[in-house]
Amino acid sequence: MHINPDLFILPRTPGQIVWDYRQHKQFELSLEYSTRLAQLIDNPEAFDNNNTIDIQFLNTGILTTAKQDTTEWGWDELSKIFHIGTKNIPCEHVPQNIHEWSRHYLDHCNEVLAASTPGSELTHRPASELITLPAPSGLPVDSLANALVSRKTCRSFTGEAMSLGDISTLLYLSLGYLKEREDAIDETVAEGLGARRSSPSGGGLNACEGFLHVQNVDGLEPGVYAYHPADHALSFVNTLPGSPLGQLLCGQHFINNLPAGLFISARFDKLWWKYQHSRAYRMAYVEAGHISQTFQLVATALGLSTWLTGALTDDQVEKLLGLEDSAEQPLFFVGCGQSDGQVMCKELKALLDNQGPLQ
């Protein structure tokens, strides 16, 4: 007898949850069942055909009669659990043609819309304190092709102030609800889901939000601001911490004088509202990636250099953004400013120059 290798155990007083993450099945175990499972983990050969609990473990797949091959993943077991646990969306019936799919999807949407819609605003974004941004300016002709060719990650910034106009354009084209697309919304779009951004979003939910980290922007006091896409406005969230920006980004101190950056967060409550399965978690990162790339291309078209990272000191960032113990979580950071165009910071370059070429 063998223990299913795809189990993840969660302690939940007064018992524990056993999650078969490959098969998307969960079992709640009492103390008696938990104790017996621990004994079988220690010695699977202790399986007893006359023990009711052992038979139930076998029937549910917690135990298997044959040893199962495990995926060779490397050291990071957590990413393996995440990846496999979000594969193969559970589906009672796979539509066999477009007509079945249409009926199934419509039924699903009606069921989702019957539930309460997640609030569009959170308490840390008081509408009475909005800072209206100037109208976003146009970009140069042929700017997309030039931006795609010119975009690169820089790690050496001058700290020179950015204009509020450039900030407005960046936020509107990256995260704003585009006024230019309002006439393109048809009657099939559910109420409350009509807003359109420049980047695609899973289910049209626009689950990602943005927090502007300001160090040197003309017309804005240093601090952290929440962006309100429907109003194209900002609201003040927090003052900057005493520690430098790099401390929030896992010690990447070459970025300390970045004039402005964007923390991209995800509203998981929105995702779970429509997609009640683990795979929805992947879509948050896909959407954050779309927004990050759009931000970089717009910044490049504006003549700015960009830098990005997924290395966040999460607890500190959550506290700064007011997202502690929240269903909204920060995922990514992208920033921009004037730069000398260097891919590496001068300190690292000096070390490499002294050391000689890498072997």
CA distance 243 to 86: 37
CA distance 143 to 145: 6
Nearest residue to 291 via CA among 167, 193, 229, 200 = 200
Q: Are residues 191 and 337 in the same domain?
A: yes
- 145 in any annotated domain: yes
Residues 23 and 164 in one domain: no
Q: What's the domain range around 13?
A: 2-85
Q: Is residue 353 part of a domain?
A: no
Write down the pLDDT at residue 31: 94
pLDDT for res 75? 67
In a domain, 255, yes or no: yes
User: End of a domain among 85, 103, 118?
Assistant: 85
Answer whether residue 252 is part of any domain.
yes
CA dist 229 and 320 (Å) reads 20
Residues 179 and 320 in one domain: yes
Q: Would residue 303 count as lying in a domain?
A: yes
What is the reported pLDDT for 359?
A: 47
Q: Are residues 28 and 162 in the same domain?
A: no
Q: Residue-wise over 40-54: b if at least 16 C-beta within 10 A, else e?
A: beeeeeebeeeeebb
Domain identity same for 165 and 245: yes
Q: Looking at the domain assignment, is residue 91 inside a domain?
A: no
What is the number of other CB atoms lying within 10 angstroms of the CB of residue 27? 18
What CA–CA distance (Å, rounded) separates 71 from 73?
6
Claim to verify: residue 270 and residue 337 sit in the same structural domain = yes
pLDDT given for residue 192 in this prediction: 61
Phi, psi of 117 (to 5 degrees): -75, 135
**Could you tell me if 43 and 184 lie in one domain?**
no
Please, what are the averages of pLDDT over each run of 10 residues along the chain (359 residues)? 93 92 91 95 94 96 88 74 75 71 75 75 62 84 80 89 96 91 65 79 91 97 96 96 91 92 93 83 93 95 94 91 89 95 81 64
**Looking at the domain assignment, is residue 116 inside a domain?**
no
pTM of full prediction above 0.85: no
**Into how many domains does the chain fold?**
2
**140 shares a domain with 8:** no
Q: CB atoms < 10 A from the CB of 350, how many? A: 11
CATH for 236: 3.40.109.10
Residue 101 lies in a domain: no
pLDDT reported for residue 88 = 67
Spatial distance between the Cα atoms of 306 and 296, rounded to a whole number of angstroms: 6
Whole-number pLDDT of residue 187? 61
Gap between the Cα atoms of 276 and 308, Å rounded: 30
Whether 168 and 277 map to the same domain: the answer is yes
CA distance linking residue 150 with residue 167, whole number of Å = 20
